[in-house]
């Protein structure tokens, strides 16, 4: 990894320096550090002593110690190619991409057609958020070595950062062709397509990974979102069989529901609740499932629990109110509707339900008032309910004026 071109660059018969070279050759790096430190102290202007000291630290994996030695080398011998290259690589290893850029830029300028300085410069620029310049550096690296999977992948990442996903895909695929270990990076591209709302392209990628549970889960979710729940189910069933996470189970349950298979969805939801009784979203999902099965009293219990978990959730109180009305449990239904109103979330539909409840308990005055309020609020948004409300309001007015 490291450039060793200066190992033979020493002058005279400096004992400490010669011992350092011998120690490096024999991979006795602690001894090399000790001897080159002494050699640099003997002659502070000998850049080769600093360079080899830095190299010894690097070969020990002591990057933090190597950096100042490489910098001292460049103070004594500015624009030394090997020092700029090794220092840039060391800073990259330390995840200091922005600081690595100037050193690798100098190395690339010194050898503009070589692979290593340009590839590492591309990596530094990408890490520093300069994707456009990184694209140029990786392109130059590929010109020097057209069969480099690392440069292909680097270029793919740069193009992806520039939101040029269609062009990036070709380089992701080329990197995987050159090195099969990079094939899974296509999944990253799939997630980027998802983020850009390019579901078709993401689906095509996920379909290439039939044995990857995460890919199959995302494929299933996208198919459900595209109103293809029947197509999604096999993929989500596989994902759950390999990785029964709450997210995978929830996605499969949603697919079952959209495919009109609530009986298959409910056991999954119960499994999720068994491990987390206080999950608001799952509790709400269970309530909707049993409500759609016309088990209104059971649904009300779920929505009541959800409302306890999130007392400020208009959605929970609204669902509770409707389930209670359908279960003909009218007094608690009115209390739930009151809570919706107190949260500032009352909509025309809530007023309509309130009118129905008051009508059911023979509060004709209250029912009439709320039918009229519903008609004023709805104003053509709910034509079927408005027709019913008008007819019922007329009857109630006649009864009240007898």
Q: What is the pLDDT of residues 251-285, one digit of tens each?
A: 999 999 999 999 999 999 999 998 888 999 999 99
To 5 degrees, how large is the angle CA 321–CA 307–CA 227?
75
For 116, other C-beta atoms within 10 Å of its C-beta total 19
pLDDT band at 10 (very low <50, low <70, confident <90, very high): very low
DSSP string, 73-131: HHHHSTT-HHHHHHHHHHHHHTT-HHHHHHHHHHHHHHSTT-HHHHHHHHHHHHHTT-H
Q: What is the predicted pLDDT for the residue at 246?
A: 85
pLDDT at residue 237 greater than cutoff 70? yes
Structure-block tokens of residue 220: 């299933």
Q: What is the predicted pLDDT for the residue at 13?
A: 45
pLDDT band at 2 (very low <50, low <70, confident <90, very high): low
Confirm if 32 and 20 have CB atoms less than 8 A apart.
yes
Confirm if 59 and 51 have CB atoms less than 8 A apart.
no
Summarised one tens digit per residue, pLDDT across range 84-132 is 999 999 999 999 999 999 999 999 999 999 999 999 999 999 999 999 9
pLDDT at residue 1 greater than cutoff 90? no
Which of 21-25, 89-93, 153-157, 316-320 shows the lowest mean pLDDT across its residues?
A: 21-25
pLDDT at residue 247 greater than cutoff 90? no
Structure-block tokens of residue 244: 């029964």
pLDDT at residue 158 greater than cutoff 70? yes
Confirm if 120 and 90 have CB atoms less than 8 A apart.
no
Q: What is the predicted pLDDT for the residue at 57?
A: 95
pLDDT band at 332 (very low <50, low <70, confident <90, very high): very high
Task: Compute the average pLDDT of residues 177-189.
Answer: 96
> What is the rounded average pLDDT for all residues in the chain?
93
Q: Find all residues with CB under 8 Å of 170, minimum gap 6, and list them.
A: none
Q: How far is CA 342 from CA 317, 339, 378, in A?
A: 11, 5, 20
Structure-block tokens of residue 15: 């004992």
Q: What is the predicted pLDDT for the residue at 360?
A: 94
pTM: 0.74
pLDDT at residue 54 greater than cutoff 80? yes
């Amino acid at each position: 990894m490291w450039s060793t071109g200066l190992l033979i660059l020493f002058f005279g018969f400096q004992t400490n320096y010669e011992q350092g070279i011998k120690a490096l050759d024999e991979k006795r790096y602690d001894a090399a550090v000790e001897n080159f430190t002494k050699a640099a102290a003997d002659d502070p202007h000998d850049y080769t002593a600093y360079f080899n000291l830095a190299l010894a630290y690097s070969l020990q994996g002591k990057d933090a110690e190597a950096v100042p030695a490489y910098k001292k080398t460049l103070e004594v011998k500015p624009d030394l190619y090997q020092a700029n290259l090794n220092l840039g690589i060391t800073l990259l290893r330390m995840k200091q991409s922005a600081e690595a850029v100037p050193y690798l830029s100098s190395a690339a300028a010194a050898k503009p057609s070589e692979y290593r300085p340009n590839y590492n410069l591309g990596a530094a620029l990408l890490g520093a958020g300069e994707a456009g310049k990184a694209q140029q550096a990786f392109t130059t690296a590929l010109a020097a070595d057209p069969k480099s999977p690392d440069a292909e992948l680097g270029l793919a990442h740069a193009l992806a950062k520039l939101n040029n996903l269609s062009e990036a895909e070709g380089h992701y695929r080329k990197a995987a062709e050159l090195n099969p270990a990079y094939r899974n990076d296509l999944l990253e591209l799939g997630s980027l397509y998802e983020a850009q709302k390019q579901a078709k392209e993401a689906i095509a990628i996920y379909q290439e990974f039939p044995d990857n549970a995460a890919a199959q889960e995302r494929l299933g979710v996208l198919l459900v979102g595209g109103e293809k729940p029947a197509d999604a189910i096999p993929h989500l069933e596989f994902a759950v069989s390999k990785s029964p996470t709450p997210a995978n189970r929830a996605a499969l349950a949603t697919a079952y529901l959209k495919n009109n298979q609530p009986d298959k969805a409910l056991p999954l939801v119960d499994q999720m609740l068994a491990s987390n009784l206080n999950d608001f979203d799952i509790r709400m999902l269970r309530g909707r499932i049993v409500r759609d099965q016309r088990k209104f009293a059971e649904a009300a219990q779920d929505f009541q629990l959800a409302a306890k978990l999130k007392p400020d959730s208009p959605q929970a109180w609204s669902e509770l109110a409707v389930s209670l009305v359908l279960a003909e449990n009218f007094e608690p239904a009115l209390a739930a509707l009151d809570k919706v109103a107190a949260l500032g979330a009352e909509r025309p539909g809530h007023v309509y339900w309130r009118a129905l409840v008051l009508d059911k308990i023979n509060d004709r005055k209250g029912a009439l008032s709320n039918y009229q309020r519903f008609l004023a609020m709805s104003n053509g948004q709910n034509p079927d309910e408005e027709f019913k409300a008008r007819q019922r309001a007329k009857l109630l007015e006649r009864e009240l004026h007898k």
